Amino acid sequence: MTSGDQLAEALAAAYPELAEVAAAAPDPVYLVGGAVRDLLSGRGRADIDLVVEGDPGALARALGAEPLAAHSRFGTLKVDLDGHEVDIAATRRESYVRPGALPTVELGAPIRTDLARRDFTVNAMAVDLAEPRELIDPYDGRADLGAGVLRAIHGASFRDDPTRAIRAARYAARFRFEVEPGTRELLRAADLSTVTPERRGGELRKLAEEGTAVPALELLVGWGLIELRGGGSFALAHEVDRLMAGPPWSEEADRAEAILAAALGPVRLAEGGGGTAAARSSWRPPTPLADTRPSRPSEAVRLARGHDPIEVVLARAAGAEWLDDWLHWREVSLDITGADLTAAGLSGPAVGEALEAALTAKLDGEAPTRADELRLALAQRR
């Protein structure tokens, strides 16, 4: 895409609803961030992020759109526009009282000041909806986008907000960007321990939801920002990613949590310790299930019973192929019930023990009929 006419045509084709926004806006309004980046690179639609040199609420009212969510501190709100969620924010400038703190926000800045607070040059471009032929690109993001380069806007970027380092890995892996050498040095100096565990965990979760989650995590380890420990393995993470690409294993557990658990175990930040709540709560070593080879279906069901879904996925990724069959064996049920056994004279704990014995026999092919189930269950009677 080279000319202003092409930019305007691409904008109209990808985001036809923005014509309504431009016509209704009481203040200058801009499309910003990833939507512009993906438009210029030919990727089509992305999430719509608008910034207004004025009041986002006034724009929402002009559009007749009820806010779905609002955050007054940052001057942001979310509305539904023709069936699409649209984020609207006031332009702002930001400052940081200390590294890793949430920013102090001053609303109502000019658009170029708003772009200066963003993370990377490729995300610091805007299109004025009233003048869609003109790209606002103060940091040559378009050139970096064409060259496939990820570049921080300023030297304090990762000191102010170290979670941008996690986003750097996410973007570099997703778009196969080459990280600019100066930016790479800044990344290696980032200190994620200055950020709360909740914010770190949230950004890691977003990263893990990407299709390129494992390469992104490998970048973070390579930059020295997170470390493997406690059995974490990228080989295991790649296998989890492959395993959960489709049914049946994609339905067994949360893919993002499984990848984090496989790659990082209980995550430890290279500076200062800590980790994500998701990783700490869900991670287990892939043994003993991974090292177990049950000889009968009933043994497989017994061994896997009660294990956390993440642990089961890790065990399967680590080589426990018998778990593929276990997915079917665990669905086996009896044709008899406790009422049948009570009617035959059993009571108390003996009913449960008899049902368990019958299920074991059925799983192992020793009770093919209902009569066999009942006979074997009652054989437990003393």
How many domains does the structure of the chain reveal?
3
164 shares a domain with 135: no
Q: Which two tokens stand for residue 295?
A: 């000889």
Q: Classify residue 200: in a domain, yes or no.
A: yes
DSSP string, 59-100: HHHHHTPPEEEEEGGGTEEEEEETTEEEEEEE-EEEE-SSTT
Confidence band, pLDDT 50/70/90 cuts, at residue 2: low
Three-state SS at 157: helix
Residues 124 and 184 in one domain: no
Residue 90: its pLDDT value, please? Answer: 92
The answer on 170 and 258 residing in a single domain is yes
Q: Of 128, 145, 162, which marks where a domain is finished?
A: 145
Q: Is residue 291 part of a domain?
A: no
128 and 179 both lie in a single domain: no
pLDDT tens figures, 79-91 = 888 788 889 999 9
Peptide bond into 138 cis (omega under 30): no
The whole-number pLDDT of residue 72 equals 64
User: Does residue 311 fall inside a structural domain?
Assistant: no
Residues 121 and 92 in one domain: yes
Largest CA distance in the chain: 89
Task: Please indicate, yes or no, if residue 329 is contained in any of the structural domains.
Answer: no
CA-nearest of 136, 192, 182 to 160 is 192
Q: Assess whether pLDDT exceeds 80 at residue 34.
A: yes
Whether residues 31 and 108 fall in one domain: yes
Q: Do 341 and 331 meet the contact criterion of CB atoms below 8 Å apart?
A: no
Rounded Cα distance, 30 and 105, in Å: 19
**Are 141 and 174 part of one and the same domain?**
no
Span 309-321, pLDDT tens digits: 999 999 999 999 9
Residue 49 lies in a domain: yes
Whether residue 316 lies inside any domain: the answer is: no
Q: What is the pTM for the complete model shown? A: 0.85
Identity of the amino acid at 61: R
Q: Tell me, yes or no, whether 114 and 63 share the same domain.
A: yes
**Owning domain of residue 45:** 4-145
Residues 279 and 237 in one domain: yes
Q: Which of 145, 165, 183 is the last residue of a domain?
A: 145
Q: What is the mean pLDDT of residues 124-139?
A: 95
What's the whole-number mean pLDDT along residues 235-245? 94
Q: Which of 285, 226, 235 is nearest to 261 (CA)?
A: 285
Query: How many Å apart are CA 71 and CA 89, to the nearest integer?
Result: 9
151 torsion bin: left (phi>0), alpha (psi -120 to 50), beta (else): beta
Whether 331 is covered by a domain: the verdict is no
pLDDT tens for residues 172-188? Answer: 999 999 999 999 999 99
Same domain, 101 and 229: no
Last residue of a domain, one of 145, 164, 187: 145
Band (pLDDT 50/70/90 cuts) for residue 227 is confident
Q: Of the candidates 187, 237, 179, 232, which has an alpha carbon nearest to the alpha carbon of residue 208?
A: 237
360 near 298, Cβ under 8 Å? yes
Can you tell me the mean pLDDT for 338-354? 93
- Say what the pLDDT of residue 102 is: 87
- What pLDDT score was predicted for residue 275? 44
As a whole number of angstroms, the distance between CA 103 and CA 100 comes to: 9
Confidence check: pLDDT of 31 > 90:
yes
- Any idea what the CATH number is for the domain that residue 180 is in? 1.10.3090.10
Q: State whether 353 and 252 are in the same domain.
A: no
Average pLDDT of the segment spanning 140-152: 97
Mean pLDDT of 132-147: 96
Any domain includes 22 = yes
Residue 349 or residue 80, greater confidence: 349
pLDDT at 355 over 80: yes
For residue 184, give the DSSP letter. Answer: H
Question: Rg (Cα) of the chain, in Å, rounded?
Answer: 28
Beta-strand ranges (E) seen in the chain are 29-32, 48-52, 67-71, 76-81, 84-90, 92-95, 104-107, 126-128, 135-136, 149-150, 178-179, 226-227, 268-269
26 and 157 together in one domain: no
SS3 264: helix
The share of the chain scoring above pLDDT 70, in percent, equals 90
Average pLDDT, the chain: 89
Determine the pLDDT at residue 278.
Answer: 46
Burial class of residue 114 (count of CB atoms within 10 Å of its CB; 0-12, 13-18, 19+): buried
Of 65 and 27, more confident? 27
Domain harbouring 14, CATH code: 3.30.460.10
The residue assigned the tokens 């994620």 is 192
Please write the tens of the pLDDT for every residue from 257-298.
999 988 887 554 444 344 444 444 444 555 578 888 999 999
